[in-house]
Structure 1
């Protein structure tokens, strides 16, 4: 009899556990999106302090596909993952590459951009960007990024300068305080076509390192938010299939980004 009672108790606990799991499943009607607002043309605050850029338009379109209300939260880059984990917002859409290191803290949606990485320099600088060639040179990029990790791993004999935003690194190059900077090509192309057109040039493509750079840019969610990730994965796949991704891509860029 006691064994039978124990079996019944175990069955009740199992059922309760299953009910608890079902209770935790969340139906998402409103989603808060965290972004940096300082990485044009992906995401940026314009002169009116309004968010604009490819990721802003693209995520808003995905929200329409998912039939959810989305609101944006601007967050400095170096605290963007901690703020997600602290429930300040529900997903990061901010030019974030889905690296193995970041996967220790968060899960990623399907990739929605994959772009080359460039090194740019002053117009008189050389195009050899090997670690040996850049020994003693000052190289800048945004801190807490894959580009910072890449420089710190391979360019130990160079002077690495990390900045809160990529735009600050760009401006230091334009003002002669750096020899080179590296970042995603789309961001640097925007700089070269505008503030950097008189001072700077593309020096070379930066070789991708699979362990550092990852497969491309994706949204980051908390590991517990399985349903949220699935929603975004489905919407991203649909946007690629029905051409809506390309429509927004063509608005912001002159060439494919995926």
Structure 2
């Protein structure tokens, strides 16, 4: 009888170990879900967008099952380090400050920062013309940091928890302009909400490298880099790019 019990315990342990191994093979992808066209939640409640398609393509190359999980932007890096996700594909700019907390892959696209404001408005982007204007950006982004580093004391800076809330205040005339990633602004300007607005001036920063974040020292970084090279080489990246943009963002 005791021998039979031992066999049952061994079988249970084997089953538990097997279940754990399967679970470990499923990676969780963190993203915001509020940054179209890169990541957003559609009408059916699904997380979709350029970032999501890229992430799933990388998982396919790594032959790994993946699940997309959303998080508020402000807490997305702490959530990664708390192991709520395995990696972030969230249009995150590679900055020195962030590199102290996480490791990044090679960039998977390059963005720019550019102002938008009402069509026909006398909105110029030099410091003299901007003085006293109210400018919005998303908090904890390179756009918000650029405003604080370059225009603090010149403009009234308003920072928002989501990009959409910045656009809402611009539409409601509570802002004179918004500074954001060019491609995100481009997407919003095509919408009904953005049809009365336009780009103003040249990009103020044109080398915004976007990477995939992993925990410090995680070997997953090199697997993701290898998969990224594969999807660029075999045309998968271009197919995804062309689904969202009529120009290359790589």
Query: Which interval holds the TM-score relative to the shorter structure?
Result: 0.7 to 0.9
Which residue number in structure 2 is paired with residue 96 of structure 1? 92
Matched, 1:202 2:199: yes
| Cα pair 1:122 1:200 within 8 Å, conserved | yes
Q: Identify, as 1 or 2, the structure richer in strand.
A: 2
Matched, 1:256 2:248: yes
What CA distance in whole angstroms lies between the structure 1 residues aligned with 2:160 and 2:192? 18
Question: 3-state SS of the aligned residue for 1:186?
Answer: helix
Question: 3-state SS of the aligned residue for 2:55?
Answer: helix
| Cα pair 1:30 1:69 within 8 Å, conserved | yes
TM-score, length-normalised on structure 2? 0.87
Displacement after TM superposition at 1:209 (Å): 7.5
Which residue number in structure 2 is paired with residue 48 of structure 1? 44
Deviates more, 1:158-167 or 1:119-128: 119-128
Gap runs ≥5 in structure 1? 1-27
Matched, 1:29 2:2: no
What CA distance in whole angstroms lies between the structure 1 residues aligned with 2:192 and 2:94? 29
Displacement after TM superposition at 1:185 (Å): 1.2
Aligned Cα RMSD in Å? 1.4
Deviations 1:36-55 (A, max 9, x none): 00000000011222111111
Which residue number in structure 1 is paired with residue 110 of structure 2? 114
Matched, 1:159 2:156: yes
Matched, 1:247 2:243: no
Displacement after TM superposition at 1:100 (Å): 1.1
| Cα pair 1:126 1:203 within 8 Å, conserved | no
Deviations 1:139-160 (A, max 9, x none): 0010000110000011111000
Which residue number in structure 1 is paired with residue 168 of structure 2? 171
TM-score, length-normalised on structure 1? 0.84
Which residue number in structure 1 is paired with residue 15 of structure 2? none
| Cα pair 1:36 1:75 within 8 Å, conserved | yes
Which residue number in structure 2 is paired with residue 22 of structure 1? none
Question: 3-state SS of the aligned residue for 2:205?
Answer: coil
Deviations 1:180-226 (A, max 9, x none): 1011111111110003343211112332287xx4xx1110010131x
What CA distance in whole angstroms lies between the structure 2 residues aligned with 1:74 and 1:85? 15
What CA distance in whole angstroms lies between the structure 2 residues aligned with 1:232 and 1:195? 37
Matched, 1:217 2:210: yes
| Cα pair 1:59 1:93 within 8 Å, conserved | yes
Gap runs ≥5 in structure 2? 1-23
Question: Paired residue for 2:70, among 69, 74, 77?
Answer: 74
Displacement after TM superposition at 1:130 (Å): 1.8
Deviations 1:14-40 (A, max 9, x none): xxxxxxxxxxxxxx7321110000000
Distance 1:143 1:197, change over 3 A: closer
| Cα pair 2:112 2:206 within 8 Å, conserved | no
What CA distance in whole angstroms lies between the structure 2 residues aligned with 1:40 and 1:123? 22
What CA distance in whole angstroms lies between the structure 2 residues aligned with 1:223 and 1:60? 22
